[in-house]
Structure 1
Amino acid sequence: MNISNSTTEDEQVYAGVFGCVMVIGLPLNAVALWILLRRHSLKSPHAVFMVNLAFSDLLLIISLPMRIYFHATGTWPLSNMACLIITMLFRDNIRSSAMFITFISVDRLLAVVYPLRSRHLRTSSNAWKGAAFVWSFMLVVNIPESLDFLEHLQDHSQLIYLQIVLLVTMLAVNIVCTIMVSWTLHRHLSDSAKVNNKMKVMLVFVMNLVLFAMFLPVPIGMAAQYKKIKPLVCLTVSNCCLDPLLYYFSFDSFWRKNENCR
C-alpha cells in the first residue's frame, strides 16, 4: 500500500511539473516567436535558427496536456499511434533543439572570430538550408524509430546510442566554440562598454552548455535502462522555459525592431 501511494504521489508530481512547464513555456515561447518574426529580420541567420528553436519547443509543449492527463489519472485514453506521436515530439525536441543550439554557437563563433571571412557563409539562405536539414533529419530518424516503438512498445532502441553520440559530438562543438569566442573576446575587448558586450555574448554560450546538460541525461538513462527515467524527462522538458532567455541574450535589443541583427 505504501509503495502504491508513493507511486501515485510521484505521478502527481510529474503531472504538476509538466503543467508548470506548459503554463510557463507556452506563453514565453509564443511571445518570443512573435517578437522574432515581427521585430527581427529573418535575413539574419541567427534569427532563423532562433525561430526554428522556438517552433521546436512549441511542438513539444502542445504534447504536454496528454502527458499531464496520463500522469494525473494513470490512464491513456488515446491510441498507440497518439502515444507514438507524443513520444516522437519529445525525442525530436531533444535532437532538433541540440542541433539548432549548435548552429547558433557556430554562427556566433563565425561572427566573432571570423567576421569578414564568414560573411558569405552567414546568410539567411544558408541558415534556412541548415534548418531544412534538421527537420529532414528528424523525419528520416523517426521512420525506423517509430516502427521499433510500435513493434516493442518500449523506449529502448539502437537509435538511442546514435542519439548519445550525436549529442556528445554537438556538445564538444559547443565547448570548442565557447573557448574560441572567449579567447578572441579576451584579446580584443578591454574597455568597460566592450566588456559588458563580452558578457552578453558569453551568456549565450553558457546558456547553450546548460541546455546540453539538460538534454543528455534522458538518452543516457534510456541506454542504461535506468528505471527512474521520469525525473530526467522532467528536467529535459523544462528546457522549453529556458530557451527564451537564450533569445533575450542573443540580441542587443530583443524587444526593439532591429533590421540588421547580425
Structure 2
Amino acid sequence: MNNSVDYRPEPNQAYAVVFGSVMVLGLPLNAVSLWILLRRHSLKSPNAIFMVNLAISDLLLVISLPMRVYLYATGTWPLSSKACTCITMLFRNNIRSSSIFITLISVDRLLAVVYPLRSRHLRTASNTWKSVALVWLFVLMVNIPEGLAYARKLNNSSESTCFEFRRQQQWPRYFQLVLVVTLLTVNLVSTALVSCSLQRHLNDSAKVNNKVNVMLIFAMNLVMFTICFLPVSVGVLTIKRHEITPLVCLASVNCCLDPLLYYFSLDAFWKKKEDVDLAREQ
C-alpha cells in the first residue's frame, strides 16, 4: 500500500497565512519564555514548573505548523501518511495538555490565594513534578490508540484527509468535549473562589501583592478555554469536517496567548532567580 497521502484540497491562502502567523509569533514567544523560565526562575515553584511544561506543549504545536502552511499554500502533501498522523496528533496533544496545564495553574493560584497555609504541604516541587508526569502519561495513553485509528483510516480511505477531523468512534469525539468542559468548570469555580477571597481581603495588601495580576491570570485562562479550546471541541461533533478548519486555526492561536500567562502569573518575570526565590511562596 502506498504510504503517501494524496491530499489535494484547493489551496487556501487564508489558512496558510493564519497558521504561518501563529508559527512566526508562537515560536519566538514560547522559546524566549522557556529560556527565561529555565534561566531566571527556580523550578521549585509549582507555577514555574507548570509554565515550563505549558511552553513545551506550545512549542510542540509550533513545530507542526510549517507543514500545515505548506499544505494550505500549495494544496499538496509531500510526506507519508505516518508524518500526517504524527503532526495531527501534535495538534491534538496541544489542546489536551495545554488545557490541563492551564487548569493546574488556576488551581495552584487558588490554593496560594485562598488556602495559603493549608496548601503549603501540597504545593511542593515534588508533588508538582508528579502531576506533570501524570499529565503527559495521560495525554500519551489517549493519543496512542487515537493516532493508530487515525492512521488506519488514512491508509484505508480513498479520500485522504490529512489534518482534517474525520468521523471517528464516538468516545474520542465526546471525550475531547467532556475533558474541555470539565476543565472549564474547574477554572470557573476557581475564578469565583479567588474573586470572593480577594473581595474579602480588599484592604489587605499583604495577602496578595498584585490583585489585578491575579485576576488577569484567571481572565486569560477563561478566554483561552472559551475562544480556543471549546469551539473546536464542539465543532468536532456538530460541523462537517471540511468546515472545521477555521476553528482549528482559532485553537492554534492559544500558543501565542499563553506567554501572557507567564507575565501575569510569575511575580518579577524578568528578575533573576535569586530574587524570585525570596517571594516564591506568594
- TM-score normalised by the chain length of structure 2: 0.87
1:223 to partner: Cα distance: 1.5
Matched-pair identity in %: 67
Distance 2:233 2:214 in 1: 29
Distance 2:118 2:71 in 1: 52
Output aligned runs, 1:84-233, within 5 Å.
Answer: 84-153=85-154, 155-157=166-168, 158=170, 159-190=172-203, 197-213=210-226, 214-226=228-240, 227-233=242-248
CA displacement, residues 11-33 of structure 1 (integer Å, 9 cap, x when unaligned)? 10100111111111100000000
1:135 to partner: Cα distance: 0.6
Distance 1:181 1:237 in 2: 28
Distance 1:141 1:192 in 2: 44
Who is 1:74 aligned against? Answer: 75
Contact 2:60 2:90 in 1 (8 A): yes
- TM-score normalised by the chain length of structure 1: 0.93
Distance 2:87 2:233 in 1: 16
Distance 1:128 1:119 in 2: 15
Distance 1:49 1:195 in 2: 20
Distance 1:198 1:127 in 2: 24
Distance 2:167 2:50 in 1: 30
Distance 1:106 1:195 in 2: 16
Gaps of 5+ in 2: 1-8, 155-164
Match of 1:242 among 257, 262, 265: 257
Q: Secondary structure, in 3 states, of the residue corresponding to 1:43?
A: coil
| Cα RMSD for the two superposed structures | 1.7
Contact 1:19 1:65 in 2 (8 A): yes
Distance 1:253 1:60 in 2: 27
Distance 1:125 1:133 in 2: 13
1:225 to partner: Cα distance: 3.6
Contact 2:176 2:233 in 1 (8 A): yes
Q: Secondary structure, in 3 states, of the residue corresponding to 2:269?
A: coil
Give the number of equivalent residue pairs: 255
Gaps of 5+ in 1: 1-6
Who is 2:15 aligned against? Answer: 14
Who is 2:41 aligned against? Answer: 40
CA displacement, residues 142-170 of structure 1 (integer Å, 9 cap, x when unaligned)? 12101210122353332121111011000
Amino acid at match of 1:187: R
In structure 2, relative to structure 1, the CA distance for the partners of 1:112 and 1:191 (3 Å cut) is closer
Distance 2:251 2:186 in 1: 20
Amino acid at match of 1:134: V
Contact 1:189 1:195 in 2 (8 A): no
